[in-house]
Amino acid sequence: MKLINQLLAVFILAILCSCNQKNKAEFYLPAEWEPQTGVLINGFDDAATFEMAAQLSKEMKIYCFAVDSAKETVIKKLKDAGVALDSIQFISSSKDFSYAQRDGFLFMKNENGEKQLVNFAWNLYGWFLEPGFKNYIEEEKENRELYTAVLKKAFPYPVISSSMVNEGGAIETNGKGTIIQAESVNMQRNPNMTKEAQEAELKRVLNAKKIIWLKEGSAEDPDGWGTLITENYFGIGVKGHLDEFCRFVNENTILISFPDSAEAAEDPVKKITLERMKVNYEILKNATDQNGKPFTIVKMPVPDNNYMTFSLDTNNTNGEIKSLSSWILKSHRNFSTGDTVHFVPASSYLNFLITNETVFEAKYWSEGKPETSKAKDEKAKQILKQYFPDKKIYQINTTETNHNGGGLHCWSMQIPG
């Protein structure tokens, strides 16, 4: 009897060890504050990206996209910006890609240090679904296939593919199995896929344990380019990426962009954003994590207006005004040449990048701007400092980046350790 009991104990121990090894080998989507081996960067079109690269190069490896024909130009610009070139590993390509870097592969890892890639389907932020985009679909599919091949070569890990359309900027994780998604993005990208089917796919592909669905993103992040937001306010966006309005800063704490009632009363765009965030806030307040525990929800300020106000003019010498005017006049028949409009860049304090030593955060104040803008920059910095006391909060002016339709987080992607 004693021998039987001993054998039974050994058998149970073996099963427990086996289960433990299985759990350790399970891949998961890591939180951004977990250790990293490097950061992948694209979008070297503005000063903010080069400034971030210069600081990043002091602490970790940078993987940098470079078109073969323009590589020497990129190298010169990096060097001029103070980037330590020995920290750069170039990923060469025969074509340029204007994708936000985060919207390529997602990196997963397990406790054994192994990695794998997740390749969601792609329809260019839903634009494939628009009738006017039909002529560009085949060319764009070829571009994406080349882009995917280039990434696979640079990061030769096993790949899990999914027919569900999703993007890195539209996914938030606490690293413990809870995933946040936005209905405004996911349902537009996947019109023939129910929320239940998407949840099942997220659990299959990302090993998600819990999915929280928010409703809509900020009004400053509309669908498309030169899109009418309200009245005579136009913007550029992807219909509500989470990295513009809702971010985890630890496994139990979530930051949400939240205009105050006074600025919402004066600004019709912020008024829409406030109403949307009230709904999202209630969802988060009543949500729980993968273990049934509630979250701490912290309201983050939104930047002061940084709108570009101009008269519609297709002959304007300013290229941005000229192209926006052409698009607006073509797409919105109730607007005429000479009408005053406002272009709204997708500005946010939540499009920050977390690395091993630093949190790269947006700032908007400069000489001549209102002191309220400076105060908001500082408030955003102090909130992040509260949750990342051991990291440097490095603020970069992202006005130009926002006008180009992105942010510090959009144009980068951390490589987990």
Q: Is 367 helix (H, G, I), strand (E, B) or coil?
A: coil
Q: What percent of the chain has pLDDT over 90?
A: 80
More confident: 159 or 135: 159
Instruction: Please determine, for residue 40, whether its predicted confidence score (pLDDT) is greater than 90.
Output: yes
130, 82 contact by CB (below 8 A): no
Query: Quick one: pLDDT at residue 8?
Result: 52
DSSP 103-162: GSPEEEE-TTS-EEEEEEE--TTTGGGSGGGGGGHHHHHHHHHHHHHHHHHHS---EEEE
- pLDDT score of 193 more than 70: yes
Instruction: Say which CATH number the domain at 211 has.
Output: 3.75.10.10
256 in a structural domain: yes
231-270 pLDDT, tens per residue?
999 999 999 999 999 999 999 999 999 999 999 999 999 9
Per the structure, the count of domains in the chain is 1
Assigned domain for 160 exists:
yes
pLDDT at 14: 47
The gap from C-alpha 149 to its chain's centroid, in whole angstroms, comes to 22
Domain assignment of residue 2, yes or no:
no
Residue 277 lies in a domain: yes
Residue 9 belongs to a domain: no
Note the pLDDT of residue 23: 55
Q: What is the average pLDDT score of the chain?
A: 92
Q: Give me the pLDDT at residue 24, please.
A: 61
Vertex 233: Cα angle to 131 and 259 (nearest 5): 115
Provide the 8-state DSSP code for 165.
Answer: E
Is residue 7 a part of any domain in this protein?
A: no
Containing structural domain, residue 119: 28-307+345-416
CA 132 centroid distance within chain:
26
Between residues 41 and 211, the one the model is more confident about = 211
Measured between alpha carbons, how far is 216 from 337 in angstroms, rounded to an integer?
32
Q: Would residue 5 count as lying in a domain?
A: no
Q: What is the pLDDT of residue 138?
A: 84
Residue 363 scores a pLDDT above 90: yes
Closest CA to 349 of 397, 391, 277: 397
Q: Is residue 39 within 8 Å of 49, Cβ to Cβ?
A: no
DSSP code of residue 47: H
The string of pLDDT tens digits covering residues 46-77 is 899 999 999 999 999 999 988 888 889 889 99
11 in a structural domain:
no
- For residues 32 and 409, is the Cβ–Cβ distance under 8 A? no
